[in-house]
Chains A and B, each alone.
Chain A
Amino acid sequence: MSPGLADLCRTARMPGLIFYMAWSDIRARYKRSVLGPLWITLSTAIGVVGMGFIWSALFKIDRTTYIPMLTVGLILWQFMSACINESTTAFTRQANIIRNLNLPLSLYPAQLVLRHVLNLAHNIPLFFIVALILGVHFNAHMLMAAPALLLVVLNLYWMSLLIGTLGARFRDLEYLVSMVMPLIMFMSPVMYRPGALPSFGKYMWFNPLADMIEIVRYPLLGTPTPMFIYAINIGMLAIGGALTFALFNAKRNRIAFWV
């Protein structure tokens, strides 16, 4: 079996360890705080309230429409940007374990993404609270948010593996990515919908993060998702996943020397 495939198969056989490690990271992080991971919820809530009032006035959009839209955008952006930012050090941060134990390397990006899924789980209730207060109509479309989120998570996994591998070899990537991400936030439909942009809104779909936000946002706001957004997300998973696998397969055995 090729090194990359063997590695991924080993990771797939240890879901318990991945979950334990992700949870133990979160526990270590919030060890001595009173609110613990609820800080994530609180900071998002403050962001939603603060930005919601100002930006809805600025964009001249009704608050009951704007704030739920913004809430989904912010929650997803936090999730995705945290995954991407931390992925640059997915392997280097774990050097201590990688250099001592024979564990599959694809475990670490999985641990990282799962940790942020757990963080995301602290934010999702916030959307439903906002939706209840502002009277968003609950309907069956919302159920599609679950498979959509799964697609986003799978896409983030290959991105994390790719960025982690490159970041282990090229240490500048960490700083480059953390510099570029805030910029990308304004170029992504976090605080607005792609349709709000006059003529060049259609180019927005070339931004993978835009597709990943909208695939979850459409159903959560109770609207049907256009088919092309599914197509782009699935295509991205197929092509990105294949390219990442090719790189990981070629370089898997070098990573232990790089970290």
Chain B
Amino acid sequence: MTALLTFDDVTIQYPIYNSRNMSLRNQLIRIGTGGRIETEAGHVQIVTALRGATFEIRQGDAVGLIGHNGAGKSTLLRTMAGVYTPMHGRITRQGRVATMLDLGAGMDPDLSGYENITRMSMLLGLKKAEIAANLADIEAFTELGNFLQLPVRTYSAGMTTRLLFAVATSTKPDILLVDEMFGTGDAEFQHKAKARMENLLQSVGIFVFASHSMETVLQYCNRFFFLEHGTIKEIGREDIKAG
């Protein structure tokens, strides 16, 4: 299948509820007092995390997302993944998606490394036979050895990253979405991750990567999106080099 990801005028807005808005009591008070304190209890801040995003990412594109903290990189990745559904705009998504957004997502810290490999692979939509076939490769890549028999809560951040990265990449996705996460690995992992990534980029249709490290983005990506206050601007390689 040819991977394809298009956004047409996509806007993502979400409410920020504080404990006052989240509580039932305040909703009841609102009804009880006939809306007099509406302005206080009913005040919900709406954040526009993504504004009128329009782009098309085709097979073979490796897109680097850059921008300040809070510019909307993670929201964009989550929208691409289908976690967030936009209120306006259309999204077309073709191909199997794998994500590496939050560290430890989908893992159960009380289960062993092996059990978590199965768990995460199942969540990513793999069948039992496919998981078994991937196991040797995951074992080899993570180099966790006997640690795979221990509960994941005993792992360091770097070890968790290794496992998550190995599993997410083993699913052979068409679309791979990665939030900055290589930072936690040690030098050897960085090196191996790079090799595996390059290998994967041969087979993965679309790769989107959010990072603050310009060096890494320039290395992996061939298109660059600059995000600022929820708006996306496509820039060239030279613009990044120029800063």
Contacts and interface: CB of A to CB of B under 8 A. Distances in A.
Interface of A: 3, 16-17, 20-21, 24-25, 27-29, 31, 96-103, 169-173, 176, 253, 256-258
B26 to A, nearest CB: 9
Nearest to B100: A100
Contacts of B83: 98-102, 256
Given A20-B122, A102-B82, A170 B102 contact: no
Interface of B: 14-15, 17, 19, 22-25, 27, 78, 81-85, 97, 99, 101-102, 104-106, 108, 110-111, 115, 118-119, 122-124, 151
A28 B108 contact: yes
Contacts of B122: 16-17, 20-21
A101 B111 contact: no
Contacts of A97: 105-106, 123
Contacts of A20: 118-119, 122
B99 A101 contact: yes
B23 A31 contact: no
A31 B110 contact: yes
Nearest to B81: A102
Given A256-B84, A257-B15, A257-B84, A173 B24 contact: yes
A20 to B, nearest CB: 5
Contacts of A256: 78, 83-85
Given A99-B105, A256-B85, A257-B84, A171 B23 contact: yes
B81 to A, nearest CB: 5
A99 B15 contact: no
Nearest to A258: B17
A99 B83 CA distance: 6
Contacts of A171: 19, 22-23
Contacts of B84: 256-257
A24 B23 contact: no
A131 to B, nearest CB: 36
Contact of A24 (B15, B17, B115): B115
Contact of B23 (A28, A99, A172): A172
